[in-house]
Amino acid sequence: MINTPDDEWHLHHDTYAAVQDAASRIGCPICVELVKRIDEFTPSSSSDNRTCIKYGFIKVDPDYRIVDLKVDESDNYPSSTDFRWHLIRVSGIEYDKHLASLHHVCLNTPPSSTGDPDVAALARSWLDECQREHTTCYNGSPDYYPPRLLDLNESVPRLVTTEPLIEQRRINGPYATLSHCWGPNPQFLTLTQDNIHQLQQEIPIPNLPATFGDAISFCRQLNLQYLWIDSLCIIQSGDNSQDQSLHLPKIPAIYRNALLNISAAHVASPTEPLFSARNPQAIKPILLKNEYLLISDSFLEDEPFHSPLHRRAWVLQERLLSPRVVHFGRNQVFWECSEWNKDAMRSETFQGGLPRKLGLDKEFDLPDFQSTEKEDADEAMSVLVSEYSDCKLTYPDHDKLVAFAGIAEHFSRVCGDEYVAGLFLREFPDALVWIVLIPPKSRPEYRIYRCPSWSWGN
């Protein structure tokens, strides 16, 4: 297969049974992966009817080709279904700093869990390099702290107030934030008027949902003493209007000044663990004849931006404002920061960065949020409004523009313009010409006034 000419289709196997045989008897790494991928789409009872698998190559450069495998139409299989791999010559990757680490990754077996200390050590190395070398990554104000934080210094965490006149011990050192889904019917421990004094004494780990407990463990592995979690640092029930009024305007600054954001990307509810067990081979490139690396683009599916978390409207702001993000996907951990997002995103597979030329990272792309050019800001604002409008809000009546406020504040500062109800004054009247690409099936009746009808926020 490796020496096949480009831009031609060739028969790989004429029956599914032949693919299975090559996978089980010969141990062909391509067929092993192909059987696994096909089985995800088709019930095992109809295996014998899945037939005729072709392959072809697309040449990108002398050392890099894309392998397309196409399964022909059958009664039980969708037509024109493609699986794609990337074939890279080992001798040709050293010139590319993003690919140079791949050879090392394929020769070593990754840990069987994203909670393994080796994964935390890798994230720590990315963090240290970012702080040391990245001039465009904001390190936050050392004097800024949210009104409340979780102190992880003792064996049992506790809630602390960061005002020095209230807290006896001075807060010192950076903090991390956690982005998470609340789930459909939140029943987990949150901060209330009734338990605030108890949580200031201790927060036993067994009382916390799994995501929060794992996030605390990860912070400790990174030697971070403080963690901000919205549901444990803002009063969530009772007469909480005063507390909400104090904290909500500060949320953009809370994420902007954090050293790191921990993104529970694959988790639909805090009751699910942040760390996940995995098949280490799923994120490991295949080495063919010690000459070629074969990388399936399947490792990016649902990782991490097709995930439950990134359908939340609040999270777009949290991701953009945070100087650095560690995304916990279902099968591996990803790293994002301002410097690396210009060029490549890192992951456990691509520890040196995911190169743009592979075309695997289209889901990662966001406009240049850090640019100070007005033209860039105009384009970025337009893209982000579209992205944001496609996300979900639990309380759209109240939060539709509130959850976008940090993004708007940033662009207002960059452009030196006044922001009004989702739009900038200098863009009037053109800004009034917007459309809804996919109209809702029904228009809900809002109970409170949100903004004028001419704004996209309505």
pLDDT at 46 over 70: no
16-41 core/surface letters (b: 16 or more CB in 10 A; e: else)? beebbebbeeeebebbbbbbeebeee
pLDDT in tens, 129-145: 999 998 888 777 888 99
Of residues 323 and 46, more confidently modeled: 323
Q: Are 248 and 399 in contact (CB under 8 A)?
A: no
Q: Are β-strands 226-228 and 175-179 bridged in parallel, bridged antiparallel, or unpaired?
A: parallel
Residue keyed to tokens 């004094």: 197
User: CA 206, 207, 209, 212 torsion: positive or negative?
Assistant: negative
Output the pLDDT for position 126.
93
- Reduced to 3 states (helix: H, G, I; strand: E, B; else coil), residue 10 is strand
Output the pLDDT for position 168.
55
How far the first Cα of the chain sits from its last, in Å, is 56
Output the pLDDT for position 54.
60
Of residues 38 and 173, more confidently modeled: 173
- How far, in whole angstroms, is CA 362 from its chain's centroid? 13
Q: Are 61 and 87 in contact (CB under 8 A)?
A: no
pLDDT at 233 over 60: yes
- How far, in whole angstroms, is CA 282 from its chain's centroid? 18
pLDDT at 448 over 60: yes
Of residues 119 and 69, more confidently modeled: 119
The residues with which 261 forms a beta bridge, in sequence order, are 177, 325
**In sequence order, which residues have a C-beta less than 8 Å from that of residue 300 and are 6 or more positions away?**
360, 361, 363
303 in the Ramachandran plot: left (φ > 0), alpha (ψ -120 to 50) or beta? beta
Q: How far apart are CA 403 and CA 313, in angstroms?
A: 7
Of residues 61 and 121, more confidently modeled: 121
Q: What is the mean pLDDT of the chain?
A: 77
| Residue 350: band (very low, low, confident or very high) from pLDDT cuts 50, 70, 90 | confident
Percent of the chain with pLDDT over 90: 27
Q: What is the DSSP string of 172-213?
A: -S-EEEEE----SS--S----TTTHHHHHH---GGGS-HHHH
- Among 80-89, 215-224, 325-334, the least confident range: 80-89
